[in-house]
């Protein structure tokens, strides 16, 4: 009997999604892939993201050859009907979004296979979470549990080097007097005929008014095939991992990538498996090719943060999307929606917006402390901020955006995920980057012509949420600082008058 067709979503592109061992589909199962135009019509995505995802899907289809039926349709439902008829008796690996899971759940005869592409299964997480009741599930405790369970970077029962957490070594400001970190640049792909075909399609659809995008597209910067993804991983571990840790939180205007891995896009497309990424990094440490702080920092990001965020997405449930503990309702201004970096005078925000406009990527500190912090200080609607990040970042998917933006960046869950809101005045940005030197604003100025919008915005934010933040032991001291500000009325007046004007 011919096995049932297996449906591959566009973020399930690595070989492990078709591996019959560990709960994958039958080795002989025909494969169905669906390019649904409605997905692109629903949201105004970054063009580089649309290009990357379609390129990766079409490359995978080309590799699978006769085994795959590749359908271009308006919706998934139509595509599935075209591919397998009305009975839709297919198998599919657990999708990564609730919307897709609900959809496949409505299909008659569908069999949902276990999720792949993560190190910790749903049942194992549930068991861990069951043992850690309380207001918050702590990343640190989850991460240590993953390390022990996977015997990852362990010396017997102890963490390698005797310490679980090397964050303290990984928060250095950028090296003074240097424009770049001076490490070997990231791996870069060469485009091929499939990339050209996708670009032509995007041009045509845009021209026909069918879809519209934000940001600039090309040349492609992220892997679109398994082979490319492995090259990118190898390149990172060999040339860039050794410096990953030390400057992980630093920003340099002329070196946006610094020593970051740029692996989130291939990981989230399913081209790389997280376990192989961390195992390679640990091998580099054991071989003496990378220091412990860098390797621990990288393992923490992937085996800790990435896994934790994936499970919180399912654990918190659908209503998490609507959380708005701080009652922030302001709409996103047009200059932010349109990635109009040139309209902005604050050098940090302008530089980072330009990075997003040109590449659809920035590392975690610009996301958290420049973009997210601006949104938080100005009281923008967290659901709209989440949607913006989802659309504008090449690695943005529902599961990873929701906890990172609603919880981590906008504190809209009231502290379920983090112990305090992540925002700061210009002093933090000044210390951790070279962005303030050439800026028209001064990080030390709260008021006046050269007031830094982050410094003023920080105090205005503390003032607006004074009662809540005074009751939190991690922010209580900062709130007390408000009482020492003689120019608070002037500062509040100026921030209120600023409205939608770009900072």
Which of 305, 314, 316, 380 is close enough to bind ligand FAD by CB under 6 A? 305
Q: At closest approach, how far in Å is the CB of 302 from ligand FAD?
A: 5
By CB under 6 A, tell whether 170 contacts ligand FAD: no
d(CA 135, CA 325): 15
Nearest distance from residue 229's CB to ligand FAD, in Å?
11
| Choice between 395 and 413, CB closer to ligand FAD | 395
Binds ligand FAD by CB under 6 A, chosen from 166, 181, 400, 429: 400
Taking CB under 6 A as the criterion, which residues in 25-84 touch ligand FAD?
none
Among 47, 60, 94, 306, contact with ligand FAD (rule: CB under 6 A): 306
**DSSP string computed for 129-162:** HHTS-SS---HHHHHHHHHHHTT-SEETTEEGGG
| Contact between 395 and ligand FAD per CB under 6 A | yes
* Number of residues engaging ligand FAD in binding (CB under 6 A): 28
Find the Cα–Cα–Cα–Cα dihedral 409, 415, 420, 424, rounded to 10°. Answer: 30
Q: What SS3 string covers 68-133?
A: EEEEEECCHHHHHHHHHCCCCCCEEECCCCHHHHHHHHCCCCCEEECCCCCCCCHHHHHHHHHCCC
Exactly one of 405, 416, 432, 439 binds ligand FAD (CB under 6 A); that residue is: 405
323 forms part of the interface with ligand FAD (CB under 6 A): no
Task: Please identify which residue in 225, 293, 359, 409 interacts with ligand FAD, judged by CB under 6 A.
Answer: 409
Answer left, alpha or beta for residue 428, where phi above 0 means left and psi between -120 and 50 means alpha: alpha
By CB under 6 A, tell whether 222 contacts ligand FAD: no
Residue 434 three-state SS? coil
Neighbours of 341 (CB within 10 A): 18
Q: Are the CB atoms for 309 and 143 separated by under 8 Å?
A: no
Does 268 interact with ligand FAD (rule: CB under 6 A)? yes
| Interface pattern 324-363 for ligand FAD (x via CB under 6 A) | ---------------------------------------x
Give just the sign of the alpha carbon dihedral 237, 242, 248, 253: negative
Tokens 């709209």, located at residue: 384
Q: How far apart are CA 356 and CA 213, in angstroms?
A: 13
* Shortest reach from residue 195's CB to ligand FAD, in Å: 21
Our finding on whether 452 is near ligand FAD (CB under 6 A) is: no
3-state secondary structure of 6: strand
Q: Is the peptide bond preceding residue 219 cis, with omega within 30 degrees of 0?
A: yes
CA atoms within 13 A on the CB side of 18: 24
Q: Which of 125, 316, 393, 454 binds ligand FAD (CB under 6 A)?
A: 393
| 404 binds ligand FAD, rule: CB under 6 A | yes
Of the candidate spans 93-101, 152-160, 227-235, 389-397, the one that interacts with ligand FAD by CB under 6 A turns out to be 389-397
Residues that bind ligand FAD (CB under 6 A): 260-264, 267-268, 298, 301-302, 305-306, 309, 363-364, 367-368, 372, 389, 393, 395-396, 400-401, 404-405, 408-409
């Amino acid at each position: 009997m011919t096995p049932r067709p297996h449906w591959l979503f566009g973020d399930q592109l690595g070989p492990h999604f078709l591996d019959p061992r560990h709960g994958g589909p039958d080795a002989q199962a025909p494969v169905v892939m669906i390019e649904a135009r409605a997905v692109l019509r629903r949201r105004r995505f970054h063009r580089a993201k649309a290009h990357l995802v379609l390129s990766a899907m079409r490359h995978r289809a080309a590799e699978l050859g006769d085994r795959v039926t590749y359908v271009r349709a308006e919706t998934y439902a139509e595509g599935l009907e075209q591919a397998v008829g009305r009975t839709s008796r297919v198998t599919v690996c657990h999708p990564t979004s609730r919307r897709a899971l609900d959809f496949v759940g409505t299909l008659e005869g569908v069999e949902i296979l276990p999720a792949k592409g993560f190190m910790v299964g749903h049942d194992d997480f549930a068991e861990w979470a069951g043992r850690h009741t309380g207001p918050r599930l702590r990343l640190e405790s989850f991460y240590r549990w993953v390390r022990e369970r996977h015997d990852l970077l362990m010396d017997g029962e102890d963490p390698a080097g005797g310490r679980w957490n090397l964050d303290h070594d990984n928060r250095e400001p950028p090296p003074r007097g240097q424009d770049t970190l001076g490490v070997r640049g990231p791996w870069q792909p060469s485009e091929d005929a499939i990339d050209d075909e996708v670009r032509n399609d995007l041009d045509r659809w845009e021209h026909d008014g069918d879809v519209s995008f934000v940001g600039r597209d090309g040349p492609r910067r992220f892997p679109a095939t398994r082979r490319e993804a492995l090259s990118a991983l190898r390149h990172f571990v060999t040339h860039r991992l050794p410096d990953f840790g030390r400057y992980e939180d630093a920003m340099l205007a002329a070196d946006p990538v610094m020593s970051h891995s740029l692996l989130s896009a291939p990981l989230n497309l399913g081209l790389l498996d997280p376990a192989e990424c961390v195992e390679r990094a640990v091998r580099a440490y054991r071989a003496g090719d990378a220091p412990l702080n860098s390797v621990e920092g990288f393992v923490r990001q992937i085996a800790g943060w990435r896994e934790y965020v994936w499970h919180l997405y399912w654990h918190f449930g659908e209503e998490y999307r609507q959380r708005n503990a701080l009652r922030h309702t302001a709409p996103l201004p047009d200059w932010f929606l349109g990635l109009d970096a040139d309209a902005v005078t604050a050098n940090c925000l302008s530089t980072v917006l330009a990075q997003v406009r040109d590449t659809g990527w920035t590392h975690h500190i610009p996301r958290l402390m420049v973009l997210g912090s601006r949104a938080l200080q100005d009281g923008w609607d967290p659901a709209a901020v989440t949607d913006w990040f989802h659309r504008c970042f090449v690695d943005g998917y529902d599961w990873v955006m929701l906890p990172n933006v609603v919880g981590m960046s906008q504190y809209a869950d009231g502290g379920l995920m983090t112990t305090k809101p992540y925002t700061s005045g210009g002093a933090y940005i000044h210390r951790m980057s070279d962005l303030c030197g050439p800026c028209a604003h001064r990080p030390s100025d709260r008021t006046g012509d050269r007031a830094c919008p982050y410094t003023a915005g920080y105090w205005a934010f503390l003032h607006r949420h004074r009662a809540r933040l005074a009751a939190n032991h991690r922010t209580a001291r900062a709130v007390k600082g408000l009482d020492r500000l003689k120019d608070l009325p002037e500062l509040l007046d100026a921030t209120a008058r600023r409205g939608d004007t770009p900072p």
